[in-house]
Structure 1
Amino acid sequence: MIYLSQLMGNPVLDSNDEKIGTVSDLGIATGEVFPRITSLAFMGPGRTPLMISWRKYVDTYNEDVIKLKVPSTEIRFSYLQPNEVLLARDILNKQIVDTRGIRVVRVNDLKLSDTSSTQLRLLGAEVGVRGLLRSLSPKLEQIATRIARSMGHPMQERIIAWSYMDLVERDLSNVKLSVSHKTLDELHPADVADIIERLDSRLRSQVFAQLDDEQRAGAMAEFNDDAMAVELIGGMNEK
């Protein structure tokens, strides 16, 4: 297992061990229960943003470096495809809905699984303190974990599987996020209302706008705060 935070900023070397950039992001192909990493984004010379196919070019990877199969002269760069999203840009540090626990949480890190020597898949989001500490500094996480264990209160991972994640802060309306998980419009109105009430005002309006008239009516009937319903309807009328 490896985390996104452990790959970010790592050097990217070609087959001649020449450094051609540093990792800036990973792309996934949505529509799978546990999506494959399909693209490697990195900052090239002069901080030029570049992207290549993971399957075609990545030879090995670890917490220190990503090595490619070919020399830099043979690389053909690519672009993000319509069915792809970037983990750091689109998911990390964003709010998501845990559709199993029916709650809104913040993504602190992303857990990846090496299904083969070169293939990576997204398992889920780390939403606990360990993920936050690791994103700040892996050494800080290790120190805090040791201290907590010595005090008899081990710090547990808090992972939400991709199959139970639904993004609420995104401009990805045409992207199918997963083949299996519930999305907001499939939840009970009481659960939708609870989720909306937990969001900040900007995201609250964004999520409310994604619902159809029947879903909005059902959610409003479940709000504990009548003023919130008035606020959301007012926001819709202003658009």
Structure 2
Amino acid sequence: MEEGQVYLASLLRREVRDAKDREVGHVEDLAFDLAAKPPVATDIAVHLQWTDRIGGLLLPRPVEDIVLLMPWSEVEAIEPEAVYLRHEHPEFEVASSEGKLLLRRDVLNKQMVDAEGNRLQRVDAVILKPEGVLLFLEGLQVGMEWFPPGRRMERIVGKLRRRYNRAGEENIIPYEAILRVDEGELVIRT
């Protein structure tokens, strides 16, 4: 992995703190817009320890163990020890997950296939690039230690990195090669 990049896994379960610096939960997932070039984070899924409100709605009783999707505008800062939100608990903006691409749920450990449907390999890791408070998708890391699939993936990844003029580690598929995410698999341009 190149300098200035982070693994999605390093952000998952990272502590989340509100505007008053109170721990409110942890990062559960990140939503991305694949149509943007480069793809950018649009929402953050936060696993709250508890809440008695969702958006402006007061709940009949407090609930524990709930995951809320919040627009990325709710993120104030991403630090090594925690993600900081703009508002205090429970005054967060919330968003629907309908139609959203969530990296942990929809990409990490999912099967990659080529445009003809041939199975390639699973996604081992998702590589992100932070720029200020924004996060951009850099690529997908794949293991190439298995023979013969490892040799085949090595050739495919090399071809893709040359096509998109991306130097660096040999086992990273550039984001530009992602055609779409279907249910349960990622379609990669080979």
TM beyond 0.5: yes
Matched residue, 1:113: 129
Contact 2:110 2:184 in 1 (8 A): no
**Alpha-carbon distance, 1:62 to partner:** 3.3
Which structure 2 residue ranges, 5 or more long, are not aligned?
51-63, 146-168
Q: 1:99-136 CA deviation, whole Å, 9 max, x = no partner?
A: 7xx87121011011113x11111111111279xxxxxx
Matched residue, 1:215: none
Matched residue, 1:65: 82
CA gap 1:165/1:105 in 2 versus in 1, 3 angstroms: farther
Matched residue, 1:162: 175
Find the partner of 1:13 among 17, 23, 41.
17
Matched residue, 2:96: 79
CA gap 1:121/1:32 in 2 versus in 1, 3 angstroms: same
Contact 1:40 1:52 in 2 (8 A): yes
Identity over aligned residues, as a percent? 29
**Alpha-carbon distance, 1:6 to partner:** 0.4
**Alpha-carbon distance, 1:163 to partner:** 1.3
The answer to which structure has the higher strand fraction is 2
Give me the TM-score of the superposition, normalised by structure 2.
0.67
Contact 2:74 2:93 in 1 (8 A): no
Contact 1:94 1:169 in 2 (8 A): no
Aligned partner of 1:111: which letter? I
CA gap 1:79/1:168 in 2 versus in 1, 3 angstroms: closer
**Alpha-carbon distance, 1:30 to partner:** 2.5
Find the partner of 1:43 among 44, 47, 64.
47
Alignment size in residue pairs: 147
User: Is 1:89 aligned to 2:105, yes or no?
Assistant: yes
Contact 2:16 2:27 in 1 (8 A): yes
More RCO (CA 8 Å, sep 6+) = 2
User: Is 1:27 aligned to 2:44, yes or no?
Assistant: no
Which structure 1 residue ranges, 5 or more long, are not aligned?
131-155, 188-239
Q: Which runs of structure 2 are paired with 1:131-150 in the superposition (5 Å)?
A: none
**Alpha-carbon distance, 1:34 to partner:** 2.1
DSSP-derived class of the 1:5 partner: helix
What CA distance in whole angstroms lies between the structure 2 residues aligned with 1:50 and 1:81? 12
Aligned partner of 1:113: which letter? K
Q: Which runs of structure 2 are paired with 1:122-137 in the superposition (5 Å)?
A: 122-128=137-143
CA gap 1:171/1:43 in 2 versus in 1, 3 angstroms: same
The answer to which structure has the higher helix fraction is 1
Aligned partner of 1:90: which letter? D
**Alpha-carbon distance, 1:9 to partner:** 0.6
CA gap 1:98/1:50 in 2 versus in 1, 3 angstroms: same
Bigger-Rg structure (1/2): 1
CA gap 1:129/1:19 in 2 versus in 1, 3 angstroms: farther
CA RMSD of aligned residues (A): 2.8
Give me the TM-score of the superposition, normalised by structure 1.
0.54
**Alpha-carbon distance, 1:166 to partner:** 4.3
